[in-house]
Amino acid sequence: MSELKQETRRPVVTLDGPAGSGKSTTAKEVARRLGFRHLDSGGLYRALTLALLEEGVPREEWPDLTEDGMRALPVHVASEGSEFVIEVGGRPMKSELRTPEVTANVAFLASLPASRACLLGLQRAAGEQGSLVADGRDMGSVVFPGAEVKVYLVADLTERARRRLKEGGGSDPADDEVEREAGVIAERDRQDSERELSPLRKPEDAHLIDTTRLDFVEQVKAIVALVEAQGTE
Ligand code: CDP
């Protein structure tokens, strides 16, 4: 009975939360363990931002772009196995989406109605078959309000800054570096929380997980357990 339910349900799992709370790496590993696909929605907003920067469109003109204008940017998403590969100008993207320049501009781009409208259908299409772990800011609140399992990840600001600086295998950052990074993250959180459309907030029905003192393996296990419990309810 429970096996049949698990097969027919094919859940969508959403992971939302502020910058540096570990959503993407956690979502990727949760998806791998469950045999689901992983959608990094922040990567899509970053890709639109990079495309605009590469095309040399001045930032003050971004609010004038229509949904079709956004859609005409050379951003494509290809489904490859369990991953969605994001391409900008025909090139598959990874670290290029996480440069300081893209990071400094992405929250502004993401506050524009045309960018959100442009990406909504694409994100929902990725979840149509279920079996998806989607991470971002509005996955549980706006894009997949009916998701079977919703998680909201938080962690102390200083801890998030420290993790961000250590990404890519760096050594322990100095206190002043952590403080600077915390300021940058706090400003992006402010923009994401205060915008009018799809602001960052915990969906009421999301499980709150504070990862400040959890290690990576523990937080992955906690989410996989929630999904497995849901399948046998
Ligand atoms: O990895 P990090 O938490 O730094 O950010 P991200 O997930 O790559 O998202 C980058 C930015 O995209 C966020 O700061 C938001 O401004 C925007 N975003 C959004 O508005 N809605 C989403 N579902 C995902 C990202």
**Residue 196 maps to which CATH number?**
3.40.50.300
Q: Check residue 9 and give its pLDDT.
A: 60
Residue 162, in any domain of the structure: yes
Residues 161 and 136 sit within 8 Å (Cβ to Cβ)? no
pLDDT at 28 over 50: yes
Residue 179, in any domain of the structure: yes
Shortest-distance atom of ligand 1 to CA 109: 16
Residue 7, in any domain of the structure: no
Selection from 32, 113, 46 nearest residue 77 by Cα = 46
Q: Residue 166: which domain range?
A: 12-230
Number of structural domains found in the chain: 1
pLDDT band at 1 (very low <50, low <70, confident <90, very high): very low
pLDDT band at 171 (very low <50, low <70, confident <90, very high): confident
How close is the Cα of 43 to the center of ligand 1, in Å? 7
Residue 6, in any domain of the structure: no
pLDDT at 105 over 50: yes
Residue 84, in any domain of the structure: yes
Residue 134, in any domain of the structure: yes
CA atoms of 213 and 191, how far apart (whole Å): 26
Residue 191, in any domain of the structure: yes
Residue 161, in any domain of the structure: yes
- Asked if residue 42 has its Cβ within 6 Å of ligand 1, the reply is yes
pTM given for the model: 0.93
Pocket test for ligand 1, best of 25, 106, 115, 135 (most atoms within 8 A of CB): 106
Q: Check residue 4 and give its pLDDT.
A: 47
- Asked if residue 140 has its Cβ within 6 Å of ligand 1, the reply is no
pLDDT at 84 over 60: yes
CA atoms of 114 and 101, how far apart (whole Å): 21
How close is the Cα of 136 to the center of ligand 1, in Å? 6
